[in-house]
Amino acid sequence: MLGLCCGPLQRCCGFEGDELLWHVDLKPHSSGDFSIAVVQANSSLEDQSQVFTSPDATYIGVYDGHGGPEASRFITRHLFQHLHKLVLEEGGLSNDVFKKAFDYTEQGFLSIVKRSWMERPQIACVGSCCLVGAISDDMLYVANLGDSRAVLGRRGSDRKRNSVVAERLSTDHNVADEEVRKEVKALHPDDSHIVVHTRGVWRIKGIIQVSRSIGDVYLKKPDFNRDPLFLQFGNPIPLRRPVMTAEPSIEIRKLEPHDLFLIFASDGLWEQLTDEAAVDIVFKNSRAGIAKRLVRAAIDEAARKREMRYDDIKKIEKGVRRHFHDDITVIVIYLDQHRGSRNGRSKENKGSDYTSAPVDIFSLNANEQEDCPLHPTA
């Protein structure tokens, strides 16, 4: 289904003097165009992202790490590989294909943790949200763990041809949401402290806000957090059973003529902008650089909350900048071909291509992941 020949990585760093911003203004995919942008706030970039395009399909991935970048980097290297292999084996995309791909990725990272455990017990605390989209044969698939989010922009009613409606496609697995808190509590009726309000927000066991992820082994495997080696650097966490899961929520839908574009973004964007505000920005502005424009709007809002300006924020170095906003990743996917748009690309005339954000903006490791993860490996 997916071709294995990937084109060269294209990237551009810096925007209006912001040296922690990376972006690709506009590239084609099988059904239209896409734009991608990432801004780094943490000392090590914990957000990772990738887009794979072929004549048959487009894959989108946004991985928001926490506790370190290892889990999000691991997902970038392996999840698309698992999807591709499963699609070939099972004859196409499906709910089951996504569940298996996520599970294989989770088990792979668990193996890394077990191998690294003696030298780096802290790796058991590393995890990542995981948001994946796929477009194939006018069908859209969205699978996610955590609180990165996919939002559809679709045209309004016939009476409002120049309006756009925001439709959330993913589920936020964050205990800030009352329904998620109820879900977690229902799974742990014998633990009155499974979700507690601490440091201004709701957290599972007073530690983490998201209820689903790749990694976070110490909250999924009770034996890890009881191990004396782990206790040397962390407080004991009494667990009767796993308090997090890697089972994704999956949405499958047919693309319709009124579907205009998709926004895939880490929670760094959604902490600053509503779904409606983000969709409105995309709808009212030109395509080239639209992901960068959304990142700029989010940073403007973060600055406004501190009575600052973007010009002030962009001068702050990574690490310190995390006190003002999170890492932010945005991918905007325009949907043209299923609507008969002139922008739609003919499958016969388009090869395969891969775009991935740098491992770390302006770091020595910035080129580490230029190779497409779908290349055959020895």
User: For residue range 82-121, what is the model confidence (pLDDT) as tens digits?
Assistant: 999 999 999 999 999 999 999 999 999 999 999 998 888 8
Q: Which structure tokens are listed for 295?
A: 């990142």
- The answer for 138, left when phi > 0, alpha when psi is -120 to 50, beta otherwise, is left
Q: pTM to 2 decimals?
A: 0.90
Kindly report, residue by residue over 36-49, the tens digit of the pLDDT: 999 999 999 999 99
Cα gap 324→305, rounded to integer Å: 9
pLDDT digits (tens, 9 = 90+) for 160-176: 568 899 999 999 999 99
Q: Which residues pair with 37 in a beta bridge?
A: 23, 330
pLDDT value for 341: 46
Record: fold of 12-174+210-356: Phosphatase 2c; domain 1 (3.60.40)
Do residues 279 and 333 make contact, with C-beta atoms less than 8 angstroms apart? no
Letter string b/e over residues 119-155, b meaning 16 or more CB atoms within 10 A of that residue's CB: eebebbbbbbbbbbbbbbeeebbbbbbbbbbbbbbbb
Contact 80, 375 (CB under 8 A): no
